[in-house]
Amino acid sequence: MQPIFKTTLPVVVLSAVVLFAPQIKAQETSFSVSAGQVEDRKAVFATVESVDVVSARARIGGTVAQLLVDEGSPVVAGQKIARVVDEKIALKVRSIDAQIQSLRSQKDLATTTLARSEKLFASGAIPKARLDEARSGLDVADRSLVAAQAQRQLLEQTRTEGDVLSPAGGRILNVQERKGSVVLPGEAIATLAAEAYILRLQLPERHAIFIKEGDEVQVAERGLGALTPSNGAALRIGLIRQVYPVIKQGRVSADVEVAGLGDFFVGERIRVWIGTGTRPAIVIPQDYLYSRYGLSFVKLSDGREVVVQQGLPRDDGIEVLSGLKPGDVLVRP
């Protein structure tokens, strides 16, 4: 009798494992269908714009002797981009240098005259009025020399202001003047876009109620390739930083802040996907779908196969447009 019990016990245990294994697997692979809210997104084009467009202007009038940048050149704040030369400044400097030499000679003469007058006054040979006159002559000569030196410094500062400096860091958009051109004080030499770039959207009026500051948008990479959220393309996330409260020609404008736009062309168009409201929809995991004869099927927990119509891919699965209803239980094929 003992051999009988030894052979039947393993058979009973194995049968129990076989009976319970399908039930455990069914619990792990089932999915209950329910209706949720999904966000619809619309593809629009946005234009790369600079937050600030500033002009580098000439501070003095003259001739453009040097032009160190061209359209598209990157610049930093304070960088020299051109030089304006006024030839009259050099002539004025030579003239004031001659005046300074003359005034220095006059000061030396007044110093000698004062020293001689002090000796003569000490010996009683001249009155005090002559001594005061000598002192005044030295004081006038000294002040005249200081004034001439200040005027020369002014001319040197004017010459230095011939350097046209970049008011901010960014890229040159347009160069208005060429080498050899005659410019006036305050005239623009070049226009540049500051380093801060944004995407400017032009949306139809009907979408104005769906966008607000802080909303996320999906931004495609550069190029005209058909990059969409549904084909696994690498997308960047941007934030709406400003919505303009004016509708022009049936369109509302909004600015999107996205990192890494520094190497884009100003005016370049990029595809952007924005949210246009939510709606109820059924979304199921991708691995519950299978194809046969060009149709999409799902398998219910009771063993039936149902033909479904697929919609757009979502973050948590794929949308089902028809064929299922809330409450259906799916199993993996």
Residue 150, CA distances (Å) to 100, 105, 112, 158, 243 in order: 10, 18, 25, 12, 54
DSSP 260: -
When pLDDT is cut at 50, 70 and 90, the band that residue 56 belongs to is very high
Q: Kindly report, residue by residue over 204-234, the tens digit of the pLDDT.
A: 888 888 888 888 888 887 765 545 555 555 6
Q: Identify whether 92 is part of a domain.
A: yes
Residue for token digits 């520094």? Answer: 262
The pLDDT assigned to 3 comes to: 44
pLDDT of residue 222: 74
262-306 pLDDT tens trace: 677 778 888 888 887 788 888 888 888 988 888 989 988 888 888
Spatial contact of 283 and 32, defined as CB atoms under 8 Å apart = no
What pLDDT shows up at residue 25?
A: 42
Specify whether 177 is located in the same domain as 216: no
Cα–Cα distance measured from residue 59 to residue 283, given in angstroms and rounded to the nearest whole number: 65
Q: How many domains does the chain have?
A: 3
What is the tens place of the pLDDT at every residue in 242-271? 888 888 888 888 889 888 776 777 788 888
Q: How far apart are CA 276 and CA 96, in angstroms?
A: 72
What is the model's pLDDT at position 57?
93
Are 69 and 139 within one domain?
no
- Name the residue type at position 265: F
In this structure, are 63 and 173 located in the same domain? yes
What average pLDDT does the chain have? 82
**Which residue would you say has higher pLDDT here, 10 or 134?**
134
CA–CA distance, 149 with 214 (Å, rounded to integer): 60
Neighbours of 263 (CB within 10 A): 9
- Residue 72: give its domain's CATH number: 2.40.50.100
- Confidence band, pLDDT 50/70/90 cuts, at residue 29: confident
Distance CA 110, CA 143 (A): 12
Q: What's 63's DSSP letter?
A: E
Alpha helix ranges (H) inside the chain? 2-28, 87-122, 128-160
Q: List C-alpha distances in Å: 281 to 26, 211, 325.
A: 25, 21, 10
248, 290: one domain: yes
Tell me if 23 is assigned to some domain. Answer: no
**Same domain (yes/no): 217, 316:** yes
How far the first Cα of the chain sits from its last, in Å, is: 47
Q: Which domain holds residue 250?
A: 32-51+196-331
* Torsion sign (Cα): 322, 326, 327, 333: positive
pTM for the predicted model, two decimal places? 0.56
The pLDDT of residue 81 is 92
The reply to whether 139 and 232 lie within a common domain is: no
User: Do residue 256 and residue 326 come from a single domain?
Assistant: yes
Q: What is the pLDDT of residue 16?
A: 35
CA distance 110 to 133: 10
Whether residue 296 is contained in a domain is answered as yes
Q: Can you give the pLDDT at residue 1?
A: 39
What is the average pLDDT across 190-201? 85
Most confident of 1-5, 22-26, 151-155, 219-223: 151-155
Higher pLDDT pick, 6 / 311: 311
Q: Give the residue-averaged pLDDT of 91-102.
A: 91
Residue 277 included in any domain: yes
Taking residues 170-193, what's their average pLDDT? 90
Regarding whether 172 and 106 lie in a shared domain, the answer is no
Q: Compute the CA torsion angle 196, 202, 207, 209 (nearest 10 deg).
A: 50
SS (H, E, C) 154-203: HHHHHHHCCEEECCCCEEEEEECCCCCCEECCCCEEEEEEECCEEEEEEE
Q: What is the distance between the alpha carbons of residues 296 and 290, in angstroms, rounded to a whole number?
A: 6
Cβ atoms of 278 and 39 closer than 8 Å: yes
At 44 the pLDDT is 84
